[in-house]
Amino acid sequence: MLLEVEGLCVNYGRIEAIRDITFSVEQGSVVTLIGANGAGKTTTLKTLSGLRKVRAGSVRFQDRDITHMASHERVPLGISQSPEGRRIFPGMTVVENLDMGAYARADRAKTRTADIERVFTLFPRLLERRDQAAGTMSGGEQQMLAIGRALMSHPTLLLLDEPSMGLAPKLIQQIFTIIKEIREQGTTILLVEQNAAQALKIADRAYILETGEVVRTGTGGELAADDSVRAAYLGGDV
């Protein structure tokens, strides 16, 4: 297993945001965490990025215990997050934002051209806007940039927090196609989504979170075909 999370508990003060969560991510797969608002999805990703302190449980990445490792040590290890709400640098251009994504890599100068080209191939829209201030781009374009920037660190594991949030249906489709392409290029993906239908379609394995706990797991196909999952998470479309 690339990532093994066991019995993870994270609090905000006395609030137990996630309780005793166990899941794993196989190398080369897409795993999705789905659940309602407040279920603990973002907290789980932030904890994997090292931005939240673990109260109990453990996180292993490539057979190494990283439970208490600092955030900046995880990026060179191969864990990179594209955060919820597209936190790009608004005053910087597209290309400058992409360069920021590679800052942790000592050999970045050698691969810079190829890396930026890879992002522009995945997101041709960003190529057209390469010198535009990122903050003036549309929400969807900023979302593409946030994903592109995360790819610049050559992640082994890419953490995506609601990449389809706020996007028009056509763009949502595009984002999911691109996620599949990124996986085909060898990057493992942990995807958090409220768009459960789309997420289950591309996921090798899915976990359903409810108020901080894992309540169901299965392959994407199994959960998408399950009546109770459909009723609760797929718009009641049974």
Interface residue list for Mg ion (CB under 5 A): 41-42, 84
State which of residues 2, 5, 8, 17 lies at the interface with ligand ATP (CB under 6 A). Answer: 17
State which of residues 7, 28, 38, 135 lies at the interface with ligand ATP (CB under 6 A). Answer: 38
Q: DSSP of 163-189, one letter per residue?
A: TTTT--HHHHHHHHHHHHHHHHTT-EE
Structure tokens at 21: 């969560």
Distance CA 70, CA 49 (A): 8
Nearer to ligand ATP, 18 or 94 (CB): 18
Question: Least distance (Å) from Mg ion to the CB of residue 18?
Answer: 12
Distance CA 184, CA 194 (A): 23
Question: Least distance (Å) from ligand ATP to the CB of residue 12?
Answer: 3
* Contacts for 225 with CB less than 8 Å, ≥ 6 apart: none
Residue 52 engages ligand ATP in binding (rule: CB under 6 A): no
Total chain residues near ligand ATP (CB under 6 A): 12
Helix axes 169-184, 108-122, angle to 10 degrees: 140
Residue 113 engages ligand ATP in binding (rule: CB under 6 A): no
Q: Is 236 exposed, middle or buried (0-12, 13-18, 19+ CB in 10 A)?
A: exposed
Nearer to ligand ATP, 6 or 210 (CB): 210
Question: Least distance (Å) from Mg ion to the CB of residue 93?
Answer: 28
Question: Least distance (Å) from ligand ATP to the CB of residue 157?
Answer: 18
Structure tokens at 114: 């190829």
State which of residues 8, 30, 40, 157 lies at the interface with ligand ATP (CB under 6 A). Answer: 40
Residue 159 engages ligand ATP in binding (rule: CB under 6 A): no
Question: Least distance (Å) from ligand ATP to the CB of residue 164?
Answer: 12
- Tokens 């399950």 correspond to 226
Check the CA dihedral 227-229-232-238 and report its sign.
negative
Distance CA 153, CA 173 (A): 25
Subset of residues 184 to 213 that bind ligand ATP, contact rule: CB under 6 A: 194
Q: Which residues bind ligand ATP (CB under 6 A)?
A: 12, 15, 17, 35, 37-43, 194
